[in-house]
Amino acid sequence: MTLRLRLFFLVLASIVPILATQAYNQARFRQERRLDAQHAVELEAKLVAGELEQIAAGMHKFLLAIANSAQIAPDATNCNSYLAALNKQFPGSLSIGVSDSTGLVYCYAIPFEKGTLTNADRPHFKLAQSTDSFVVGNLMVGKETGKRAIGFAYPLPRDAANQPRGIVFASLSVDWLTDHLGRNPLTAGHSLTVVDRTGTILVSLPERSQIGQTVPPLWQKNFSDGKVSVREMTDPVSQVNGIFAFMPNPSATEGIGVVVGINEATAMASANQSLRRALAVAIAGILAALGLAWLIVSEAIERPLQSLLDAARRWRSGDFTARCNLANAPVEMSRLAGAFDTMAESLQLREADRASNELALRRSRDAALAANRSKTQFLAAASHDLRQPLHALSLAVSVMQVRHADDTDTPHLERIGRSVRSLSNLLNTLLDVSQLDAGLVQPTITDCCLKILFAEVAEEFAGIAAQKQVTMQVMPSTLTVRSDGQLLGRMIKNLVSNAIKYTPSGGSVRVHAREDGNQVVIVVADTGIGIASDLQEEVFTDFIQLNNPERDRKKGLGLGLAIVRRMSELLDHPVRLQSVPGAGSTFSIRVTRSTDKVRGVPQQMIHHRYEGRVLLVEDDPLVAEVTAALLTVWGATVTSVASGEAAVTLMQDAQLHFDALITDYRLQKMSGTSVAKAALSRWPAICAVVVTGDANDDILREVRLLGAALLQKPIRTEALAAILQQS
């Protein structure tokens, strides 16, 4: 047994008997004090009940004498003065009167107007007449006095035909009764409550604020038990626990109950004080015992323990060379110190290994950060440099389509336009995920004909499907939907590309659309390898390819379905996947149906018009040339400059005015947002458009704060036209 354990049992053995004795004595003392409090409230309740019974007995005799007096006959001339004389014997406490058998008062000690006062509605009147006996009534308010009182009634002798003649009644003031009972002060801490047969409080001492309130049903039950009962319960008024003695209704005061209570804290005050003293003594004894035991063993524990704590503090600060060196300490402390020293040696070795590994990890992290910065810089440059020629090519194709509309070159230009869009989609597959996340891609919602989108899908993927020996069916559709045609087309193409990629030779891919109420469901179904149910959500994650563990880039980057999910959320077009491994997959896109009929012509052939004055700021000569040509074809008057500084210089000319500004974001010295800010300061109503090839959400916030529009390269000509035409 260790020293600490021996110390514990020594202190416990010396204290437990003392604590047990004190607990027993306190329990007995508290029980005796509780019984004393019960006897005290019971005795006081009996005394008050006896006093009330005397009052009621006296009232009984008083009313009996009046009832047998000839001076209260209905034809007596001095009845009122007789009662008034009697009433003077009880100044301020009593009101006496007589009523006939119908309750009409014909004689009263207080002046009143005959024929206007009745007792027919008083419960004690009815009860006295029905029982033909003395009755104690309930709490009431005097009709003439307006004061709270308790009524008493006694029947007049019956007439010769044994019929009721009336009632003698008296109203005893509740205030007088309260003062009368209060002349004999209650025992300190006691409370007195007197109630009528309905449970309404007649007397409340020492506080009088409860008079007229109704006691709870439990109290009523205690009054009707027929004997004195003492109970521990909660005072319904003060919500304080207490001890209460209930005195049932004595025969002479039928209908009146008495309860005397004492607050439990007051009743048990002496016991609680004794308990506190006992606890103080016990705690002092425990502390003294522990202090003595500690003094005895301090040398055997305190010094070795301090050595352990000093060593532990050094270990916590990282100095694992510290040792306890307690070979001469008691055996328990010596063994503990030896274990700690062994642990310190192990930690010292591990710390050396950790420092070496941390250095290697730091170097690896620095290399990874450098590689990540290089990748970020490369993607930023690629985003701009790759989009720039594609942007110029897209604008040039738009110009050619307008100039060669409806001639023999139109089909070739349409195919070139579709090829440019496909190339743009391939580039966006690599670069647009971050743009979608940053909110840089903003949809243009119009009425879109599925016939056009399905035709583009069939033309783009027919050769790929045939090369893989996969049968592809694109069912013609004349339905129109509300969407962004280019973004919806990219979603369908990504799904078709994915379906062909994972469908083996001999399989099939089918694209069709069907109506479902006010919506259109676009379906891409294949007979490919399928997807397990627990992996169906995972396929929409970036760079996830379930059937490409070797990361063969011929099978794509694993971004197709991830882009579909982002575009689905952007356009609010829910995408649903149903798949069975080995039986194929079915992807469906739910789009709002349009009631308008859209002609089945490519959007690129729409002839846009804009006849405003445009300031074009572009430092790439090829892009500037084709952009100016496109705007000119639309009918605009274009002024082109190659730098932000030149644009700001033009803005100083008070004679010049422009309706729109189109500026590249990445200029040599000034940013496009700086140019737009200067233009908006010069012409607040100007339509400012910033064109960028960078996927950066900071640019988006910067442009939006200016109130300008942002277009991503390669821009969609219909988006540019929509912005200009809305200005």
pLDDT digits (tens, 9 = 90+) for 154-201: 999 888 888 888 999 988 888 888 888 888 777 777 888 888 888 888
pLDDT at position 550? 41
- Choosing from 343, 365, 397, the residue where a domain stops is 397
Whether residue 638 sits in one domain with residue 521: no
Residue 311 inside a domain? The answer is yes
Range name among 255-269, 277-291, 408-422, 423-437 with the lowest pLDDT average: 423-437
Same domain, 566 and 668: no
HSE (side-chain half, CA atoms, 13 Å) at 625: 8
Evaluate whether 259 touches 45 at the Cβ level (below 8 Å): yes
Residue 432 has pLDDT above 60, yes or no: no
Per mean pLDDT, which range of 162-176, 250-264, 474-488 is the poorest?
Answer: 250-264
Report the domain count for the chain.
3
Q: Is 113 contained in some domain? A: no
User: How far from the centroid of its chain's Cα atoms is residue 460's Cα?
Assistant: 51
The pLDDT confidence band at residue 722, using thresholds 50, 70 and 90, is confident
Which of 353-367, 382-396, 537-551, 622-636 has the highest average model confidence (pLDDT)? 622-636
Asked if 592 and 634 sit in the same domain, the reply is no
pLDDT at 533: 78
Out of 431-435, 475-479, 660-664, which region has the weakest mean confidence (pLDDT)?
431-435
pLDDT tops 90 at residue 589: yes
Same domain, 432 and 527: yes
Same domain flag for 385 and 431: no
- The per-residue pLDDT for 16 is 81
pLDDT of 605: 46
pLDDT on residue 675 = 93
Q: How many Å apart are CA 194 and CA 223, to the nearest integer? A: 11
- Check residue 365 and give its pLDDT: 78
Of 380-394, 403-417, 530-544, the one with minimum mean pLDDT is 380-394
Q: Are residues 581 and 614 in the same domain?
A: no
The span from the CA of 417 to the CA of 411, in Å, is 10
pLDDT band for 562, please (50, 70, 90 cuts). confident
Mean pLDDT of 567-590: 88
- Range with the lowest mean pLDDT among 270-274, 506-510, 617-621, 623-627? 270-274
Give the CATH number for residue 347.
Answer: 1.10.287
List, for residues 29-56, the tens digit of each pLDDT value.
888 888 888 888 888 888 888 888 888 8
Residue 202: which of 180, 228, 231, 186 has the closest Cα?
180
The helix/strand/coil state of 330 is coil
Provide mean pLDDT across the span 311-316.
Answer: 75
Provide the pLDDT for residue 321: 78
Question: At 295, is the pLDDT very low, low, confident or very high (cuts 50, 70, 90)?
Answer: low
For the chain, first and last CA: distance in Å? 93
Whether residue 255 lies inside any domain: the answer is no
- Asked if residue 685 lies in contact with residue 677, where contact means CB atoms within 8 angstroms, the answer is no
CATH of the domain at 690: 3.40.50.2300
633 in any annotated domain: yes
**Helix boundaries (H) for 478-559:** 485-501
Domain assignment of residue 614, given as a range:
607-726
Same domain, 572 and 652: no
CA-CA distance, 702 to 675, in Å (whole number)? 12
Q: Is the peptide bond before 714 cis (omega within 30 degrees of 0)?
A: yes
Question: Is the pLDDT at 2 greater than 80, yes or no?
Answer: no
Sequential DSSP letters for 130-176: HHTS-EEEEEEE-TTT--EEEEEEEEPPP-TTS---EEEEEEEEHHH
Residues 421 and 388 in one domain: no
Residues 692 and 699 sit within 8 Å (Cβ to Cβ): yes
Provide the edge-to-edge strand list for the sheet that holds 508-516. Answer: 471-474, 508-516, 519-526, 584-592, 575-580
Q: What is the pLDDT of residue 443?
A: 80
Report the share of the chain in percent with pLDDT over 70.
77
Range with lowest mean pLDDT among 36-45, 275-284, 427-436: 427-436
Q: Residue 167: what pLDDT? A: 92
User: pTM score > 0.75 for this model?
Assistant: no
Residue 311 sits in the same domain as residue 346: yes
pLDDT for the residue numbered 413: 64
- The DSSP output letter for 71 is G
Tokens 């309404």 locate to 200
Asked whether residue 158 is assigned to any structural domain, the reply reads no
Bond prior to 389 in cis (omega within 30° of 0): no
Q: Once rounded to an integer, what is the mean pLDDT over residues 628-650?
A: 91
Last residue of a domain, one of 397, 432, 451: 397
CA nearest 630: which of 403, 410, 419?
403
Q: DSSP class of residue 716?
A: P
Let me know whether 467 and 481 are in one domain. yes
- Helix, strand, coil percentages, rounded to 5, for the chain: 50, 20, 30
pLDDT category of residue 557 using cuts at 50, 70 and 90: very low
Q: Is pLDDT above 80 for 131?
A: yes
Task: Specify the CATH number for the domain of residue 411.
Answer: 3.30.565.10
Q: Does residue 339 fall inside a structural domain?
A: yes
pLDDT reported for residue 376: 47
Mean pLDDT, residues 450-474 taken together: 89
Residue 375 and residue 505 in one domain:
no
Please determine, for residue 411, whether its predicted confidence score (pLDDT) is greater than 80: no
User: What mean pLDDT is reported for the chain?
Assistant: 79
Q: Is the residue at 448 inside a domain?
A: yes
Checking if the pLDDT of 24 tops 80, the result is yes
What is the distance between the alpha carbons of residues 98 and 156, in angstroms, rounded to a whole number? 9
Query: Which of 603, 618, 643 is the last residue before a domain boundary?
Result: 603
Q: For 502-536, what is each residue's pLDDT tens digit? A: 899 999 999 999 999 899 999 999 998 888 877 76
pLDDT of residue 282: 74
701 located within any domain: yes
> pLDDT per residue over 73-112, tens digit each?
887 788 888 888 888 888 778 889 899 888 898 888 888 8
The whole-number pLDDT of residue 679 equals: 92
Q: Looking at the structure, tell me whether residues 356 and 433 fall in a common domain.
A: no
**What element of type H or E holds 680?**
helix 672-682
